[in-house]
Amino acid sequence: MCSVKYKKSTPYQTTWITKEDAKEYSQYLITKYGKLSGGVNKEGIKYYNNLINELLRNGLTLFVTLFHWDLPQILEDEYGGFLSPHIVNHFQAYAELGYKEFGD
């Protein structure tokens, strides 16, 4: 699990983020109401944009990982994971949303 610590004075001023030996964060908050049909969680998008911007200001080089042993729970719950053929289009939409919102 990703461990994030913030200084108390600024909500996005990051002390460190670490997962094993790499810098990493997760996009869990980008869907709304825990369902794909719930739409995009704009507060989650804003949170991650602020986090990304703060990390970049602090000189970190970021690499977004859309799947690293943690399929978005929504896709697991609605389709039973990668065993379902229905997941392909939804995972593609999830990846495209991540690229659109965080790819700058």
Total length of the chain: 104
Structural domain count, the chain: 1
**DSSP letter, residue 46:** H
Helix/strand/coil (H, E, C) string of 47-104? HHHHHHHHHHHCCCCCCCCCCCCCCCHHHHHHHCHHHCCCHHHHHHHHHHHHHHHHCC
32-66 per-position pLDDT tens digit:
555 556 677 788 888 888 888 888 888 888 877 77
Question: The pTM is what?
Answer: 0.59
Note down the domain range covering 84: 3-102
Is-contact 23 14, C-beta < 8 A? no
